[in-house]
């Protein structure tokens, strides 16, 4: 009696390359995840709109150690929106790079980090728990998570379990002014799976008004218990940096608006000096940004106008810089509004103008004339004093 032929295996043959591993079936333990030494690092904050790839290239040139992409919404990444995926693109000069995502649901946030790890070369992923804008807050994301601890814990635990790179968290002091709870959340975040916590020394209610509270950040650093912790807020000189670095337990600092006002701040901190940078040197930085923008967004008409608008957004911060050579008292403070002044040359005076039309004039010197119908209004309220 002849035996019946064995049923053929219709499963597709998967060709393998290299050693066989079990990483697809067995999750890494926390101690097996990639480690990053965050100590004594200067980090550029994830900056919505203005923290684009060309700007990050400028900051890397001046000494930023860690860079992070602009805040991306998890739901829009999952929907495949090209504008959102453009925010997580990395430049080759960014040797320690991560992306920041915002969301309010553990399942979508977890699937999002899985996609990011599969499709991007990342060193870490940051969860945004600090965004104050209503569009994000009212959906339960950003700073709203600080008031929803169970949801916050579920997101951090789920996201961390799906990652083989470090998870970081950036948040504010709290939702409401003087009703702060960051110091209570910090030790829990490390238990839930975070490798680094950064706190901006203002509440959501404060937005960017008044000074960041570094005395409270001292308390937060103590709550971290020696684990990686960054402080953020109002650093605009190497003196500011040195003062805050004396806080016990502070691993490093994150720089946001200070880097927008003067991206050479990273150099000043590392070289411990004030840089009396000339107007021509600053204009060369604008030229480099324009070239980087044309490389990134394209050199056609659309690419030129995109570069122009992002350059104008940056100029809405950059004009606040006061040259060292004409300051009466050093250092410049980030929330001090100077009286109108004349620079040491015409270009320096033009760069100090708070008039949008003068910013447009600067872009015309780099990117050509604008149309008669062109107008610009800064998108960010953070450029106010």
Which positions are annotated as active-site residues?
131
| 3 state SS of 124 | strand
d(CA 241, CA 231): 10
C-alpha angle 287/288/294, rounded to 5°?
90
d(CA 116, CA 118): 5
Return the H-helix or E-strand segment holding 364. Answer: helix 356-367
| 3 state SS of 255 | strand
CB of 69 within 8 A of CB of 99? yes
Q: At what angle do helices 301-318 and 53-61 cross, to 10 degrees?
A: 50
Q: Give every CB contact of residue 252 below 8 A, 6+ residues apart in sequence.
A: 38, 39, 40, 41, 42, 43, 230
């Amino acid at each position: 009696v002849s035996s019946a032929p064995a049923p053929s295996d219709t499963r597709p043959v998967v060709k393998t390359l290299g050693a066989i591993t079990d990483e697809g079936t067995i999750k890494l333990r926390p101690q097996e995840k990639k480690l990053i030494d965050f100590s004594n690092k200067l980090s550029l904050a994830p900056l919505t709109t203005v923290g684009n790839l060309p700007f990050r290239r400028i900051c890397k040139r001046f000494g930023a150690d860690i860079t992070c992409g602009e805040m991306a919404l998890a739901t829009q990444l999952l929907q495949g929106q090209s504008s959102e995926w453009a925010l997580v693109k990395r430049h080759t000069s960014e040797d320690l790079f991560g992306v920041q995502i915002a969301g309010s649901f553990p399942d979508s946030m977890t699937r999002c980090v899985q996609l990011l790890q599969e499709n991007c070369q990342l060193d870490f992923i940051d969860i945004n728990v600090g965004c104050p804008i209503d569009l994000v807050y009212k959906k339960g994301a950003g700073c709203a998570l600080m008031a929803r601890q169970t949801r916050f814990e579920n997101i951090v635990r789920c996201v961390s379990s799906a990652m083989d790179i470090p998870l970081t968290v950036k948040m504010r002091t709290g939702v409401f002014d003087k009703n702060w709870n960051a110091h209570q959340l910090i030790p829990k975040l490390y238990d839930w799976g975070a490798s680094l916590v950064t706190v901006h020394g203002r509440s959501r209610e404060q937005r960017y008004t008044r000074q960041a509270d570094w005395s409270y950040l001292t308390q937060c650093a103590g709550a971290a218990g020696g684990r990686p912790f960054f402080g953020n807020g109002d650093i605009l000189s190497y003196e500011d940096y040195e003062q805050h670095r004396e806080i016990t337990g502070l691993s490093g600092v994150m720089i946001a608006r200070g880097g927008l006002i003067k991206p050479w701040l990273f150099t000043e901190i590392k070289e411990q000096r004030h840089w009396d940078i000339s107007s021509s040197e600053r204009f060369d930085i604008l030229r480099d940004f324009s070239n980087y923008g044309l490389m990134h967004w394209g050199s056609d008409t659309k690419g030129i106008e995109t570069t122009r608008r992002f350059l104008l957004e940056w100029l809405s911060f950059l004009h606040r810089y006061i040259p060292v050579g004409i300051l009466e008292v050093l250092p410049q403070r980030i929330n001090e509004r100077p009286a109108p002044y004349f620079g040491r040359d015409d270009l320096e005076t033009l760069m100090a103008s708070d008039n949008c039309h003068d910013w447009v004039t600067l872009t015309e010197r780099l990117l050509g004339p604008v149309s008669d119908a062109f107008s610009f209004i800064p998108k960010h309220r953070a450029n106010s004093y």
